[in-house]
């Protein structure tokens, strides 16, 4: 079932208009890159989709359910199926890698038992499988802050995997990483997209990464959708529309 974003608008309390009537539909299995200058509204858009940020107006409909109208209880249920990956990884630094991954399952297990640090063995096995998938099973007992940036982001992916998401929202997942690591992280996300059929919306800074991984691009400028098409359709004119006249085209 598609993700339908309808005239989504966000005006922050200080009057900043971060999104203005943004509309698009994403079909299952797409890998959509969200691009635009810093401040264009990429984070706001991704976070309005699962209501980490409350939109001011407009609608988000997914799997036939109006997320924007969902009650807190319905919203919790919907969010279980939406994985999220963050630029700064958002791990609990002093907890182990395994505990961080198990946290991805919190929407599913008994909250009282999980508060006590108890997870059923089946959940621990699931977490270990997720860690194996991102090549980190050996580091399960390490503290999260003992890992490198690239490894921490892989923990972030394993945590999202625990949710068995149908939709993955990735907010600049590789902006803190060097280019080689950026590819390794995006390859895991690509695998989730291609093998597991997870729909991906991912904000990205660099066009070469967009060309390599995305099947579709949405360009934002000052909160307005200024481009929606295939990566190979971004020619110099389109590039300037998205990034402004003064922007230099570097890389891809």
Ligand X SMILES: Nc1ncnc2c1ncn2[C@@H]1O[C@H](COP(=O)(O)OP(=O)(O)OP(=O)(O)O)[C@@H](O)[C@H]1O
Q: Which residues bind ligand X (CB under 6 A)?
A: 12, 14, 16, 18, 36, 38-44
Kindly state the smallest distance separating residue 182's Cβ from ligand X, in Å.
15
Residue whose C-alpha is closest to residue 105's, from 165, 55, 49: 165
Instruction: Locate 151 and state its tokens.
Output: 């490894």
Kindly state the smallest distance separating residue 175's Cβ from ligand X, in Å.
8
Residue whose C-alpha is closest to residue 123's, from 106, 138, 140: 106
Kindly state the smallest distance separating residue 33's Cβ from ligand X, in Å.
13
d(CA 53, CA 209): 27
The partner residues of 35 in beta bridges, in order of sequence, read 219
Q: Is 82 helix (H, G, I), strand (E, B) or coil?
A: strand
**Strands, DSSP E only, in the chain?**
3-11, 17-26, 31-35, 57-62, 65-66, 82-86, 167-171, 199-203, 216-221, 224-229
Kindly state the smallest distance separating residue 128's Cβ from ligand X, in Å.
33
Kindly state the smallest distance separating residue 238's Cβ from ligand X, in Å.
18
Task: Give one word for 101, left, alpha or beta, with left for phi > 0 and alpha for psi -120 to 50.
Answer: alpha
Kindly state the smallest distance separating residue 206's Cβ from ligand X, in Å.
12
Kindly state the smallest distance separating residue 38's Cβ from ligand X, in Å.
3
Nearer to ligand X, 18 or 155 (CB): 18
Nearer to ligand X, 52 or 61 (CB): 52
Nearer to ligand X, 165 or 223 (CB): 223
d(CA 32, CA 18): 20
d(CA 42, CA 201): 10
d(CA 27, CA 185): 23
The partner residues of 116 in beta bridges, in order of sequence, read none
Nearer to ligand X, 18 or 186 (CB): 18
Instruction: Locate 95 and state its tokens.
Output: 């907890």
Nearer to ligand X, 48 or 160 (CB): 48
Nearer to ligand X, 39 or 107 (CB): 39
Instruction: Locate 203 and state its tokens.
Output: 């904000």
Nearer to ligand X, 44 or 151 (CB): 44
């Amino acid at each position: 079932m598609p993700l339908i974003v309808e005239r989504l608008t966000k005006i922050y309390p200080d009057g900043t208009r971060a999104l203005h009537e943004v509309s698009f539909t994403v079909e299952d299995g797409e890998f959509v890159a969200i691009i635009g200058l810093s401040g264009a509204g990429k984070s706001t858009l991704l976070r309005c989709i699962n209501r980490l940020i409350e939109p001011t107006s407009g609608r988000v409909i997914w799997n036939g359910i109006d997320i924007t109208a969902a009650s807190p209880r319905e919203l919790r249920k919907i969010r279980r199926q939406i994985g999220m990956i963050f630029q700064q990884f958002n791990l609990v630094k002093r907890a182990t890698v395994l505990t961080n991954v198990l946290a991805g399952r919190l929407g599913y297990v008994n909250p009282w038992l999980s508060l006590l640090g108890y997870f059923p063995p089946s959940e621990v096995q699931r977490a270990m499988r997720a860690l194996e998938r991102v090549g980190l099973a050996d580091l399960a007992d390490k503290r999260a802050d003992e890992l490198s940036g690239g490894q921490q982001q892989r923990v972030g992916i394993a945590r999202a995997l625990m949710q068995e998401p149908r939709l993955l929202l990735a907010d600049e997942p590789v902006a803190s990483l060097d280019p080689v690591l950026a590819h390794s992280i995006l390859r895991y996300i690509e695998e989730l997209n291609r093998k597991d059929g997870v729909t991906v919306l991912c904000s990205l800074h660099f066009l070469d990464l967009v060309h390599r991984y995305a099947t579709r691009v949405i360009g934002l400028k000052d909160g307005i959708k200024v481009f929606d098409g295939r990566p190979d359709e971004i020619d110099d004119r389109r590039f300037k529309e998205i990034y402004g006249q003064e922007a230099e085209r570097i890389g891809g």
